[in-house]
């Protein structure tokens, strides 16, 4: 069975600090996808990134970067120079690559990030 663990329940930082959100996953499949979603106070989940299991190249998008390491089954997310607008709950999610399947997402419990002035 697939599982996603986000051990950090809540993180508080001061604006402009860097912060890393941890994600550890479990799956028996060799083909799978990893995702990060942001859920701001308004409640709507916003897609941030998708990674497939064959692509371990780290990715940077503006202030966001992602570190995918299959050896440790981790897909960590770093926000550089955090801003108040980054305050939200961040979810890591896993989708197993099932032939003919629906690619349902298994989410972690989320990390609440609070960025203060």
Partner 1 sequence: DTGVSQNPRHKITKRGQNVTFRCDPISEHNRLYWYRQTLGQGPEFLTYFQNEAQLEKSRLLSDRFSAERPKGSFSTLEIQRTEQGDSAMYLCASSHRGEYNEQFFGPGTRLTVL
The count of residues interacting with partner 1 (CB under 8 A) is 25
Give least dist CB 106 to partner 1, A.
7
Residues 32-51 that bind partner 1 (CB under 8 A): 33, 35, 37, 42-47, 50
Residue 105 contacts partner 1 per CB under 8 A: yes
Residue 108 contacts partner 1 per CB under 8 A: yes
Give least dist CB 45 to partner 1, A.
4
Chain centroid to CA 36: how far? 3
Of 91, 89, 99, 98, nearest to 75 by C-alpha is 91
For residue 17, give the 3-state DSSP assignment.
coil
Q: Which residue in the set 13, 15, 106, 114 belongs to the binding site for partner 1 (CB under 8 A)?
A: 106
Task: Specify the DSSP class assigned to residue 28.
Answer: S
Q: Say which residue the tokens 């402009």 belong to.
A: 16
Q: What is each CA distance from 3 to 17, 32, 87, in whole angstroms?
A: 30, 12, 25
Residue 27 contacts partner 1 per CB under 8 A: no
Residues at the site binding partner 1, with contacts judged by CB under 8 A: 4, 33, 35, 37, 42-47, 50, 52, 91, 93, 95, 101-110
């Amino acid at each position: 069975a697939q599982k996603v663990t986000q051990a950090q329940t809540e993180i508080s930082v001061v604006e402009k600090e860097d912060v890393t959100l941890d994600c550890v996953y479990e799956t028996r499949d060799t083909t799978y996808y990893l995702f990060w979603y942001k859920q701001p106070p308004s409640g709507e989940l916003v897609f941030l990134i998708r990674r497939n299991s064959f692509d371990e190249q780290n990715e940077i998008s503006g202030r966001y970067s992602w570190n995918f390491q299959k050896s440790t089954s981790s897909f960590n997310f770093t926000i550089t120079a955090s801003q108040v607008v980054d305050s939200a709950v961040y979810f890591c999610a896993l989708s197993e690559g099932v032939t003919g399947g629906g690619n349902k997402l298994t989410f972690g419990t989320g990390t609440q990030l609070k960025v203060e002035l």
